[in-house]
Structure 1
């Protein structure tokens, strides 16, 4: 194999192809040879960019995080509704319905890195919650939401939605996940954040199933 004049493109190809293989076959069932066959690279060409399959998985997960964050901000910028409550409901539904966001969840279940989970939790609280808080505050002003401590409410909601109710982290079945999502809906209603409806729960269950 000659000198690679476009190493960035090769790296991206490895990550994209590996993501497809992990989603289709599962991480454990995907071999380095599978990746070599799909990319057409030699072992030397692959190991020039990644030392192991674990490093490839880390790159795949990081790219997924970047995609989800970009999708999140793009939806917020382009979503308009009659009030903040309906806006937040629409944002949540669009995120839950995005199959690409969830495409790797089951494939990487066996290789979830606690460090990666903690980083995601920190990002959830430090970056995503303040954005949701702004929408909640908007809802308080326009009268569509009645809650106190919007910053805390946003943090609690995202932590429970993304982590406590997430079956991927706890290997829960469909029924267990459905029960938790309905209970989360009840809890958020008690806190004045009534933004989970049957459509959102159905979309989340479809994504997880």
Structure 2
């Protein structure tokens, strides 16, 4: 493992257990087994490390989108596969929820979280724009507005993540959640010129909630 990675791992462990604000650069250096010079060779501050950790998730999302785009799946299956892959990434985070929460319990945390949200939306929009345009070029999708539809759909993907979270927190009833999924399912099939149920979202939503409930046990998001 490189010194840079050791520093990131040490910072993550300290941020997650002590909290970001209570962690000092000196503590990160000590846990990483680094020198002061070695630390500042790679990072200018602990703020930069937190941004690196945060946007590492966005890098994972980008890699996942690229893999789905290059996969041998049909263009229609790629559309829904990215949903499943995002859901799997969320499921894998469950064991680290407590740590992840502690990363962002500091003043003005909304600034970094907003940047992460904007980056996620951008990557998602770019992915769907490429996918929709490819479908149009292959004569599988039929829309005159691939860019606009991708932007709209990127926001709907984020909305799905938010609403599923609210359901698991008992802040949103399931009927509202699934009604929204049915609406989006009808909308996207219609806008892409596909038959009803070609892209199925409700089935995906059911499987995700069931898997998440089983994974979290007594935890709450």
Q: Same fold (TM over 0.5)?
A: yes
User: Where does residue 95 of structure 1 map in the other structure?
Assistant: 86
For residues 94-130 of structure 1, give each alpha carbon's deviation from its aligned partner in whole angstroms, at most 9, with x where no partner exists: 23202597457534343544356246426634x5324
Query: With structure 2 as the length reference, what TM-score do the two structures score?
Result: 0.62
- Aligned counterpart for 2:101 among listed residues 101, 106, 129: 106
User: Where does residue 55 of structure 2 map in the other structure?
Assistant: 62
User: Where does residue 80 of structure 1 map in the other structure?
Assistant: 72
Matched position secondary structure for 1:98: helix
1: CA distance, partners of 2:11 / 2:182? 40
Residues 85 and 195, structure 1, Cα contact 8 Å, conserved in 2: no
Query: With structure 1 as the length reference, what TM-score do the two structures score?
Result: 0.65
- Aligned counterpart for 1:192 among listed residues 166, 184, 188: 188
Residues 8 and 53, structure 2, Cα contact 8 Å, conserved in 1: yes
- Gaps spanning 5+ residues in structure 2: where? 190-198
**Does 1:53 pair with 2:53?**
no
What are the equivalent positions in structure 2 for 1:145-184 lying under 5 Å apart?
149-162=145-158, 165-166=161-162, 174-176=169-171, 179=174, 181-184=177-180
Residues 132 and 146, structure 2, Cα contact 8 Å, conserved in 1: yes
- Aligned counterpart for 2:129 among listed residues 113, 117, 133: 133
- Aligned counterpart for 1:117 among listed residues 114, 117, 123: 114
Residues 178 and 205, structure 2, Cα contact 8 Å, conserved in 1: no
Matched position secondary structure for 1:93: helix
2: CA distance, partners of 1:94 / 1:187? 22
- Gaps spanning 5+ residues in structure 1: where? 1-7
For residues 134-187 of structure 1, give each alpha carbon's deviation from its aligned partner in whole angstroms, at most 9, with x where no partner exists: 4335556665x67774432321221132257437xx988523367475354133
| Number of residue-to-residue matches in the alignment | 196
